[in-house]
Amino acid sequence: MGAVAVIGSLAFIGWLIWRAVKRKPIKAHLVSYILACIAGVFTFTFFLSMDLPEVVKILVSIILGGVLIFIAAWFQRRVKADQL
């Protein structure tokens, strides 16, 4: 998996250079999407190399972060509705 991530990173850099040499426009959303895919592969590789208890801790942290983001958005929506 690590090799796939490295090859993907090199291919992305090569693609950026190729587009720059050809003077073709590079869309920001496409670059963001490619970077997210490469980051996902690196993250997946990192998780596969961890011990199981560490993976559980990280998953709990991600779920807790999602819950906290939901609560913050809910409070913000309530405050905004009260101000109207």
CA max distance for the chain: 54
pLDDT digits (tens, 9 = 90+) for 36-83: 888 878 877 777 777 778 878 888 888 888 898 889 888 888 877 777
pLDDT digits (tens, 9 = 90+) for 5-38: 788 888 988 988 988 899 888 888 888 888 888 8
pLDDT bin (cut points 50, 70, 90) of residue 1 is low
pLDDT bin (cut points 50, 70, 90) of residue 84 is low
